Amino acid sequence: MDAVAVDRMQFAFTIMFHYLFPITTMGLAPFVAWYTWRASRSAEESLTKAAAFWTNIFTVNFAIGVGSGIPMEFQFGTNWAAFSAKAGGVVGQPLAMEGVYAFFLESVFLGVLFYARRARPGGLAVAGAVAVWLGSWLSGFFIVATDAWMQHPVGYAIATGGNIEMASLSAVLLSPFAWWQFLHVICGALVAGGFIVAGIGAYYVLSSREERLGPDFVRAGVVIATIFSLLAIFPTGDRNSANVTEYQPVKLAAMEGLFESKNGAPLAIIGMPDVAHRKLIDPVVVPDVLSFLAYGNFRAGVHGLTSYATALWPPVELTYYAYHVMVGLGTIFAAAGAVASLLLFRRRLFKTRIVLWCLMLLMPFPYIANEAGWMTTEVGRQPWIVYGLMRTAEAASPNVAAGETIFTLIGFLGMYFLLGVLFLYLTLREIGKGPSEVHA
């Protein structure tokens, strides 16, 4: 088997498993701060227990996330040494800032939050919770800024030996491409956090437990999930698509399964891309809409995949299906949130058990949507590891054989399986006990 393919397989597995945990930390951190702040302003013991409950779940998630993320750091040196040597002068700086500023901020103040919550939370606990929230989002920003540079390189210079050097850190960190991508990531995380909080609350309501906090969790989760489901569509999703249209038109064509260039290009709702015959099988399309979404003109021309050399095509099927899974689930989230919000406004949500069941059963799906979004972003960038500057085939370590990577991948599979089982056990145990059994 090709060594580059195995290197990609290993990195894809480790990063997709790891990303499940940053989604939760970024999505739950505002709820930890919210309930900690409310507990500090109220003598109600249930709010103190709610703050402790969400802090416990956040902490388990944070700890497993740290453990699952460590191997990725080593892969830059072991599997992707050529990439690190050529582009390390740029990608190394935001990654270092993530560790020095964001990760330490999050981890140190999580300890402060645990120390300060021994009694009813006060100002120190609130400050710790807000700092944890800030640290989790700042960590996400530096990681996204690194990836955004690989998607759309800015602020760099080519050295005499061919290496890519940092010319402007501010250009990298303040790139509109990075900010819109980051805001879209945050929306996705908050959709996940909102549905987790609402779903756990719905579980308590349906099982007639936690009569005080169950409905409170549902209300808080539904509001956040609904708002950020809509923001994930517009403006953040729209602006991300505009950046893809401008800077990565081949990816746009793959996402939409558009093989032939067209004026008034249709938007594919469903269909099966057939790369061999260069067509979309059994499509259901909306005429002219892709042209409007891409260029604001229903008759604008959109370049299809055949406008570009086949060597520049990403894996079309995987890019297409991942994108449509993300969009389809995002639409479902917005609809479910709107229905739940309407029932909540009309004071009928807690009497409508089928919607509560839907909220509970939806909990895993934001994770699928987030993972599908990242698959679209990363797979659609191929064959480039740094878009337009360095191909993925040139980035692997020349002295690491495929067999060595397969051996370590098997080890990661076993280790991550144990981490996943441990996470599920600890989290489900906390949910099973419920906030009323938490010792703050």
pLDDT tens by residue, the chain, 440 residues? 788 889 899 999 999 999 999 999 999 999 999 999 998 888 788 898 999 999 999 999 999 988 888 888 788 888 899 999 999 999 989 988 888 788 888 888 888 887 776 667 778 888 889 999 999 999 999 999 999 999 999 999 999 888 999 999 999 999 999 999 999 999 999 999 999 999 999 999 999 999 999 999 999 999 999 999 999 999 999 999 999 999 999 999 999 999 999 999 999 999 999 999 999 998 899 999 999 988 989 999 999 999 999 999 999 999 999 999 999 999 999 999 999 999 999 999 999 999 999 999 999 999 999 999 999 999 999 999 999 999 999 998 888 888 888 998 899 999 999 999 999 999 999 999 989 877 65
Question: Per DSSP, what are the bridge partners of residue 130?
Answer: none
Query: Distance from first CA to last CA of the chain, Å, rounded?
Result: 53
**Each residue of 255-308: pLDDT tens digit?**
999 999 999 999 999 999 999 999 999 889 999 999 998 898 999 999 999 999
The DSSP secondary-structure symbol of 352 reads: -
- Distance between CA atoms of residues 121 and 355, nearest Å: 34
- Residues near 206 by beta carbon (within 8 Å), at least 6 away in sequence: 353, 356, 357, 360
- Residues near 434 by beta carbon (within 8 Å), at least 6 away in sequence: 53, 204, 209, 210
- Distance between CA atoms of residues 41 and 47, nearest Å: 10
Given a contact cutoff of 8 angstroms between Cβ atoms, the answer to whether 142 and 25 are in contact is no
Given a contact cutoff of 8 angstroms between Cβ atoms, the answer to whether 270 and 284 are in contact is yes
**Each residue of 339-358: pLDDT tens digit?**
999 999 999 999 999 999 99
CA torsion sign for 246, 251, 257, 258 is: positive
Residue type, 49: K
- Distance between CA atoms of residues 358 and 340, nearest Å: 10
Residue type, 185: V
CA torsion sign for 105, 108, 114, 119 is: negative
Neighbours of 315 (CB within 10 A): 15
Given a contact cutoff of 8 angstroms between Cβ atoms, the answer to whether 240 and 181 are in contact is yes
Question: What tokens were used for 213?
Answer: 């906090």
